[in-house]
Amino acid sequence: MASQKISSFLSRTLASSSIRSLSQHGRTSHCRRVVSRYSTAAATEDPITPPVSVKYTQLLIDGKFVDSASGKKFKTYDPRTGNVIAEVAEGDAEDINRAVAAARKAFDEGPWPKMTAYERSKILFKFADLLEQHTDEIAALETWDNGKPYEQAAKAELPMCVRLMRYYAGWADKIHGLTVPADGPYHMQTLHEPIGVAGQIIPWNFPILMFVWKVAPALACGNTIVLKSAEQTPLTAIYAAKLLQEAGLPDGVINVVSGYGPTAGGALASHMDVDKLAFTGSTVTGKLVLEMASKSNLKPVTLELGGKSPFIVCKDADIDKAVELAHFALFFNQGQCCCAGSRTYVHESVYDEFVEKAKARAMKRVVGDPFQKDIEQGPQIDSEQFEKVMQYIRSGIESGAKLETGGEKLGSKGYYIQPTVFSNVNEDMLIAQDEIFGPVQSILHFKDIQEVARRANNTHYGLAAGVFTQDIDTANYLARALKVGTVWVNCYDVFDAAIPFGGYKMSGQGREKGIYCLMNYLQVKSVVTPLKDPAWL
């Protein structure tokens, strides 16, 4: 795909009557039992057996699957039921030390940074092919471990992973410096060199996508990697790393350590022999990571953090389209999205109409077993996140916001929450201030675009924003006035390999994807050589 548009995912996939032949995996027999509107008594009482087995649960260090040094394991759970999927090796500081040593040796002595860029690109292209070939297995693992709809993983996220990998594979042999004219008889050039050992920490909401977002540019630039996966979702990172080995990546170039943030993550962030750190996760944890990096060897850090993104519906908007887009902007991925449009600002002249239609759309949302075809919403990731979202819902009710619909647990198993819509929300309410990371839409009203721009910017976050208007002047004004890293105009959640993504303010520093991301993994060296009797300068 030339452009990966997640915002068009539902309309594309739900219109199809044969999504990746789901019946081949034994899903069809459960169709009528598990699909349910949010308002029914049960979301799914008879979970579908996942069409995949767990093959890899160890750490990957220096090209080999190994147990943790301590021998410890932790459990990863199925969010549909709370049942254990598998026990995974639990890495800690000693395992991080082993992984960093392997990555250092692979960088300093191994073939990877010494290969021609073209040879590296061929391995990355082969990995992209393997990702594409194993889409079904990876998507099934992702759904099982994370709870996101299988169709979303298989039809939107895995194709995006493949496209991004090919994008950076294509960049590998196009990274070069400059020849710079100097004031005098000197030849001056710049070299763009790999930075060395890259430490990477990825989150649980988009495990395989974040894996590729991190490793693709780092490998294209010739670096080696130690990656810590989220303890909630370790399975797809291990699987993908195995495919990288099959693609021909030399031993030690990528090392994957599953483990907890305070132990494995903390050891990686503070390690003296890690040259660069990339982190995606909450703003609170991002601050800790940055502090640990600065107190160790002052390694450069890129951060992709939280958000409380405004979605602005102007008075001239097509209300039906705006309702659908705002619904998707918030509820996509169970609301577990850093750039979710979680503050829906609607012009006062169309506010009442919008609220009624937003409520009706939420009540039609199809919630159930994410392995089921045509499911829009699965469970939250785990009990902790479930309880956090429910606390915010109670807070909204107690603070005086009007609960239009939802607000309760769905079913007796797993971590399903009814799609929830609040109206009459004020900025001083927690549901309008904090990143809820769940299926809770807060609708506010405004009078004019200057006012809404000021209110939208009145937050510590600055990751993204949506603007829905038919007026080009309004769109241009808000696109420049909003202090965010991405502004989507009359669309939302449009991601492409070439589009940089990142935040202003406390939503992070640096950019993921696109050409801008390459500089996160490169150093610039100036080389100056005298010229003897030059023919020209």
pLDDT at 196 over 60: yes
By mean pLDDT, which of 4-18, 35-49, 181-195, 268-282 is the weakest?
A: 4-18
**Which residue in 304, 376, 404, 435 is the catalytic one?**
304
What pLDDT shows up at residue 537? 87
Structure tokens at 19: 């999504």
Each residue's pLDDT tens digit, 302-334 = 999 999 999 999 999 999 999 999 999 999 999
User: Looking at residues 186-214, what average pLDDT do you find?
Assistant: 98
Largest pairwise CA distance in the chain? 87
Q: What is the pLDDT of residue 67?
A: 98
CA torsion through residues 494, 79, 136, 125, sign: positive
Phi-psi map region of 150: left, alpha, beta (phi>0 left; psi -120 to 50 alpha):
alpha
Of the ranges 37-41, 116-120, 213-217, 221-225, which one carries the lowest mean pLDDT score? 37-41
Residue 114: CB atoms within 10 Å: 10
- Report the residue count for the chain: 537
**Between 62 and 25, whose confidence is greater?**
62
User: Given a cut of 90, is residue 7 above it in pLDDT?
Assistant: no
CA–CA distances in Å: residue 313 to residues 128, 145, 326: 39, 35, 9
Task: Name the residue type at position 228.
Answer: K
The strand order across the sheet containing 420-423 reads: 402-405, 420-423, 440-446, 343-347, 310-313, 464-468, 486-489
Tens of pLDDT, residues 101-138: 999 999 999 899 999 999 999 999 999 999 999 999 99
Distance CA 510, CA 276 (A): 12
Provide DSSP, 391-443: HHHHHHHHTT-EEEE--SB-SSSS--B--EEEES--TTSHHHHS---SSEEEE
- Does residue 80 register a pLDDT over 50? yes
Would you list the domain boundaries of the chain? 59-306+511-523, 310-496
Please determine, for residue 139, whether its predicted confidence score (pLDDT) is greater than 70.
Answer: yes
Is residue 387 annotated as a catalytic residue, yes or no? no
pLDDT, tens digit, for every residue of 143-167?
999 999 999 999 999 999 999 999 9
Q: What pLDDT score was predicted for residue 110?
A: 87
First to last CA, the chain: 46
Per the CB < 8 A criterion, the answer to whether 496 and 476 are in contact is no
- Helix, strand, or coil (residue 493): coil
Alpha carbon of 442 to those of 120, 432, 435, 494, 501: distances in Å? 47, 7, 11, 22, 24
What per-residue confidence (pLDDT) applies to 125?
98
How far apart CA 334 and CA 152 sit, in angstroms, is 11
Residue for token digits 């073209």?
Answer: 118
Q: Name 515's Cβ contacts closer than 8 Å, sequence gap at least 6.
A: 171, 498, 500
CATH class, range 59-306+511-523: alpha beta
**Does the domain spanning 310-496 belong to CATH 1.10.357.10?**
no
pTM for this predicted structure: 0.92
State yes or no: pLDDT of 419 exceeds 50: yes
Distance CA 314, CA 377 (A): 28
Percent of the chain having pLDDT more than 90?
A: 91
Q: How confident is the model at residue 46 (pLDDT cuts 50, 70, 90)?
A: confident
Give the count of beta carbons closer than 10 Å to the beta carbon of residue 371.
Answer: 26
Q: How far is CA 499 from CA 46, 117, 178, in A?
A: 41, 23, 24
Band of pLDDT at residue 356, cut at 50, 70 and 90: very high
For residue 319, which phi and psi values (nearest 5 degrees)? -65, -40
Give the C-alpha separation, 79 to 244, whole Å.
28
Cα distance between residue 66 and residue 95, in whole Å: 10
pLDDT for residue 397: 98
- In the predicted structure, residue 6 carries a pLDDT above the cut 60: no
The mean pLDDT of 72-89, rounded to a whole number, is 98
Q: Hey, do 59-306+511-523 and 310-496 end up sharing a CATH topology, with the first three levels equal?
A: no
Classify residue 448 as exposed, middle or buried by CB count within 10 Å of its CB (0-12, 13-18, 19+).
exposed
Tell me the per-residue pLDDT of 478-524, one tens digit each, with 9 for 90 and over.
Answer: 999 999 999 999 999 999 999 999 999 999 999 999 999 999 999 99
Sign of CA dihedral 98, 103, 106, 109: negative
- Order across the sheet with 179-180: list the strands: 179-180, 186-194, 522-530
**Dist. CA 161–CA 134, nearest whole Å:** 12
pLDDT at 37: 54
